[in-house]
């Protein structure tokens, strides 16, 4: 009897021990990964003095067995603005942290920052790096670094931005339908990587000659002064109307101003009735990774504007639309900013998608404009011979191999050097011997990009010659 009882007890102990071992056994499969309550922890409070705040991150083990995290660390190390508390222990580096099956771990993140110092970038970023079973996973950490107006994936309506402190955009903004964003002189707008200004309503930019409204990326170090593609650009979407941009500088994006794109890929819904419109005048658009001004079945008027250093086209007017360019200088030359390989201007009256071929009438007029670059031909026409393809160049300096002898061209200075003062330094003022001097035709545009008066026969391009 005693022997049987002893055997039974031993058997039960073995069963319990075995079950315990199975329960506590670590999962080492590389396919077993962690899950997180957030992929980015954003500290979006703006402090007026040195401030500290704490956020939490929850780390989940969705597996049935225990998982061991080999290391948890802040990528920036001990010099980071961020600090961690993992399982009650403060620090920036932790090892051999276990999470039981179907359980989770809380990590508390603290940051101390002085947004009024002006030393840090507008957005300070770091990350928490997790190494588990050979897998590397991370969670981004983001905090505002300077005192500014911050917008994080915001939908805004009827707002006026004044020149009191910078405006910083993270994760883009959207001006809602029926709403207006007005930007006053001297305002500086900084957009983070992959951020954009989307407009369903209306954008009004009221810059002045002495106080341009500046749109650029949020990296303000000298190295980034002329780096393209730092943010996405300004997008006036279908249905956006009464847009006005005056005395603005837009630089270092993918696109300068893009009109007519949509969240819908159904080109049947693209009509003149929902075509966006804009008047751009006395502005500078430069260092775009793709295109300075993009129009897709839209209405665009451009006056006294300089567009240069664009990776694809300075202006791409596609799938129809109505376009009027007056006293516009568009120039591209291969340099340390862009490799100029595509024509400055492209006009088209069709678009193609998986649904098929779509045509739309185009009517484009260029008066007193300079289109000049380092290619032999700086103009491309995409005509499907279905929709109307109407264009007119009047009193322009053009770089092209095409004939300009037909009625689409009037008083053209063909393949003439505009003789800028110093284009290698991006100074596109006309020199005293420029062929563009007094070669324009008088229009309703009575001053130039810098508000110098145009009298008599105006000069071609955005700048009137001043002795």
Shared domain check, 358 and 265: yes
pLDDT in the model for residue 289: 97
The angle subtended at Cα 28 by Cα 23 and Cα 29, nearest 5°, is 115
pLDDT in the model for residue 21: 45
Report yes or no on 162 lying in a domain. yes
Is 0.95 topped by the overall pTM? no
CA 63 to CA 76: how far, in whole Å?
Answer: 30
Lowest mean pLDDT among 88-92, 312-316, 418-422: 88-92
Report yes or no on 1 lying in a domain. no
pLDDT in the model for residue 265: 77
Shared domain check, 301 and 171: yes
Q: What CATH number corresponds to the domain at position 77?
A: 2.60.40.10
Q: Using one digit for the tens of pLDDT, what is the confidence trace for 147-203?
A: 899 999 999 999 999 999 999 999 999 999 999 999 999 999 999 999 999 999 999
Report yes or no on 191 lying in a domain. yes
Domain boundary among 86, 110, 144: 144
pLDDT in the model for residue 113: 80
* Mean pLDDT confidence for 419-432: 96
Shared domain check, 208 and 75: no
Q: Does the structure show a pLDDT above 90 at 435?
A: yes
Report yes or no on 435 lying in a domain. no
Report yes or no on 12 lying in a domain. no
CB within 8 A of 267, min separation 6: which ones? 319, 351, 353, 355, 358
Shared domain check, 270 and 337: yes
Shared domain check, 274 and 204: yes
Lowest mean pLDDT among 106-110, 113-117, 168-172, 401-405: 113-117
Shared domain check, 302 and 186: yes
Q: Using one digit for the tens of pLDDT, what is the confidence trace for 381-407?
A: 999 999 999 999 999 999 999 999 999
Domain boundary among 113, 144, 175: 144
* Mean pLDDT confidence for 423-445: 97
Strand partners, 270: none
Q: Does the structure show a pLDDT above 50 at 8?
A: no
Shared domain check, 228 and 175: yes
Shared domain check, 307 and 373: yes
Q: Using one digit for the tens of pLDDT, what is the confidence trace for 247-258?
A: 999 999 999 999
Q: Do strands 104-113 and 362-367 pair parallel, antiparallel, or not at all (unpaired)? A: unpaired
Q: Which domain holds residue 251?
A: 149-430
Paired tokens of 242: 């009464």
Cα distances from 418 to residues 21, 70, 183, 339, 449, in angstroms, run 83, 64, 34, 21, 17
Q: Using one digit for the tens of pLDDT, what is the confidence trace for 298-356?
A: 999 999 999 999 999 999 999 999 999 999 999 999 898 899 999 999 999 999 988 89
Report yes or no on 465 lying in a domain. no
Report yes or no on 297 lying in a domain. yes
Instruction: Please write down the HEC assignment for all residues of the chain.
Output: CHHHHHHHHHHHHHHHHHHHHHHHCECCCCCCCCEECCCEEEECCCCCCCEEEEEEEEEECCCCCEEEEEEEEECCHHHCCEEEEECCEEECEEEEEEECCCCEEEEEEEEEECCCCCCCCCEEEEEEEEEECCEEEEEEEEEECCCCEEEEEEEECCEEECECECEEEEEEEEECCCCEEEECCCCEEEECCCCEEEECCEEEEECCCCCCEEEEECCCCHHHCCCCCCECEEEECCCCCCEEEECEEEECECEEEEECCCCCCCHHHCCHHHCCEEEEECCEEEEECCEEEEEEEEEEEEEEEEEEEECCEEEEEEEEEEEEEEEEEEEECCCCCCCCCCCCEEEECEEEECCEEEECCEEEEEECCEEEECCCCCEEEECCCCCCEEEEEECCEECCCCCCCCCCEECCEECCCCCEEEHHHCEEEECCCCCCCCCCCCCCCCECCCCCECCCCCCCCCCCCCC
Q: Does the structure show a pLDDT above 90 at 10?
A: no
pLDDT in the model for residue 50: 54
For residue 239, give the nearest of 317, 174, 193 by alpha carbon.
Answer: 174
Domain boundary among 118, 144, 170: 144
Report yes or no on 420 lying in a domain. yes
pLDDT in the model for residue 47: 52
Shared domain check, 93 and 64: yes
Number of domains in the chain: 2
Strand partners, 161: 183
The angle subtended at Cα 44 by Cα 39 and Cα 48, nearest 5°, is 155
pLDDT in the model for residue 455: 86
More confident residue, 353 or 104: 104
Shared domain check, 334 and 411: yes
CB 439: neighbour CB atoms within 10 A? 19
Shared domain check, 225 and 361: yes
Shared domain check, 160 and 139: no
Name the percent of the chain lying above pLDDT 90: 81
């Amino acid at each position: 009897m005693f022997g049987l009882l002893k055997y039974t007890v031993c058997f039960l102990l073995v069963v319990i021990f075995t079950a315990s071992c199975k329960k506590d056994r670590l999962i080492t499969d590389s396919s077993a990964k962690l899950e997180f309550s957030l992929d980015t922890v954003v500290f979006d409070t703006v402090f007026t003095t040195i401030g500290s705040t704490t956020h939490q991150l929850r780390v989940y083990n969705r597996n049935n067995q225990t998982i061991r995290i080999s290391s948890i660390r802040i990528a920036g190390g001990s010099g980071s603005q961020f600090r961690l508390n993992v399982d009650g222990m403060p620090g920036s580096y932790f090892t051999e942290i276990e999470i039981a099956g179907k359980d989770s771990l809380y990590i508390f993140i603290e940051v101390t920052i002085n947004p009024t110092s002006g030393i840090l970038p507008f957005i300070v970023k770091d990350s928490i790096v997790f190494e588990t079973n050979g897998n590397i996973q991370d969670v981004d950490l983001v905090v505002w670094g300077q005192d500014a107006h911050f917008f994080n994936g915001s939908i805004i309506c009827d707002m006026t931005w004044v020149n009191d402190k910078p405006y910083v955009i993270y994760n883009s903004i959207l001006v809602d339908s029926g709403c207006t964003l007005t930007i006053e002189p001297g305002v500086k707008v900084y957009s983070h990587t992959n951020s954009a200004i989307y407009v369903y309503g209306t954008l009004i930019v009221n810059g002045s000659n002495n106080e341009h409204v500046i749109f650029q990326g949020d990296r303000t170090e000298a190295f980034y002064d002329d780096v393209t593609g730092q943010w996405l650009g300004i997008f006036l979407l279908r249905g956006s109307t009464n847009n006005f941009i005056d005395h603005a500088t837009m630089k270092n994006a993918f696109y300068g101003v893009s009109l007519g794109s949509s969240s819908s890929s159904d080109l049947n819904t693209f009509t003149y009735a929902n075509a966006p419109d804009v008047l751009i005048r006395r502005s500078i658009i430069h260092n775009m990774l793709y295109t300075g001004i993009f129009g897709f079945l839209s209405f665009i008027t451009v006056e006294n504007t300089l567009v240069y250093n664009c990776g694809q086209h300075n202006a791409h007017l596609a799938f129809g639309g109505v376009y009027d360019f007056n006293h516009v200088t568009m120039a591209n030359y291969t340099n340390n900013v862009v490799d100029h390989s595509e024509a400055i201007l492209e006009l088209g009256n069709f678009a193609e998608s998986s649904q098929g071929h779509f045509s739309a009438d185009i009517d484009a007029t260029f008066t007193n404009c300079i289109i000049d670059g380092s290619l032999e031909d700086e103009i491309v026409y995409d005509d499907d011979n279905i929709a109307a393809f109407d264009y007119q160049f009047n009193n322009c300096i053009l770089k092209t191999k095409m004939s300009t002898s037909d009625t689409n061209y009037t008083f053209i200075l063909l393949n003439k050097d505009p003789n800028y003062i110093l284009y290698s330094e991006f100074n596109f003022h006309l020199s005293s011997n420029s062929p563009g001097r007094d070669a324009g035709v008088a229009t309703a545009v009575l001053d130039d990009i810098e508000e110098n008066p145009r009298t008599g026969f105006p000069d071609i391009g955005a700048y009137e010659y001043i002795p």
